[in-house]
Structures are given as structure tokens and as C-alpha cells.
Amino acid sequence: MEIKLKTKVWLEADGEKLFGDGPCDILSRIERTGSLRQSAAEINMSYSQAWKLVQMIEDNLGYPVLDKQAGGAGGGHSTLTPRAATLTRAYSQFRREADHQLDLLYKKHLAPALKSGQ
């Protein structure tokens, strides 16, 4: 049996979830694909659920996260606002570094304690 450390990290304001892995994921996908609909489909989420998630993110953060261009013959297109793009990149980098540091701490403190009982 392999034991792994799993963590959840998010930002809160006044006890309410502000931003975390899920919102970061959908925004990163929108930035990559240029499409809320395609991003939602990649994670098996309905378009309406994804749209509600984007609205919740905007409400929580207090600023727009998407620049939207209405569809036409080629369909619509969405890009992240500069502020949302900065937050998404910063949060992703923070998570990578936090996961790395937590893995080091796990190996230092918990892994030896778990092995000592074997």
C-alpha cells in the first residue's frame, strides 16, 4: 500500500471561498482553448454550470475574469482579462511550489513515522 499526502488549498474572504483549484482549472482551460463551452466539455461540465462558475468567480473576486466575443459564423470566443490571467498564472505557480514543499515536509516528518510501524 502506497500512502500519499493529498491537500486542498483555496483562498477565502470572510469565511467564503474566493478562489481555488476548480476555478483556476476552468480559467486555465478557457485561456488555452478560447472557449467556455469547449473548456466545460473537457471536464464533463455543462455549459450552464461552467457559466455559473465563471459568474461565481467574478462575484467572489469582484472583477470580470472573461472578455467575451459573441458568436457569429465562427462562433464566440473568450479570453481572460489581464487581471484574471495574472491571478491564474500566480495561483498555478503557487500550487506547484506548495505541493513540492508539502511533499518534502511529508517525506521528512510523516513518511518515517508511517514506516516505523511496519
The 8 Å CB, 24+ separation contacts for 6-13 are 7/98, 7/99, 7/102, 9/95, 9/98, 13/60
Q: Which fold has domain 19-90?
A: Arc Repressor Mutant, subunit A (1.10.10)
| pLDDT above 90 (res 2) | no
Q: pTM value? A: 0.86
| Gap between the Cα atoms of 83 and 66, Å rounded | 10
Q: What is the pLDDT of residue 86?
A: 98
| Gap between the Cα atoms of 68 and 51, Å rounded | 12
Tens digit of each residue's pLDDT (9 = 90 or more) over 40-83: 999 999 999 999 999 999 999 999 999 987 765 566 789 999 99
Confidence of residue 107 (pLDDT cuts 50, 70, 90): very high
Contacts of 92 by beta carbon, 8 Å cutoff, 6+ apart: 24, 28
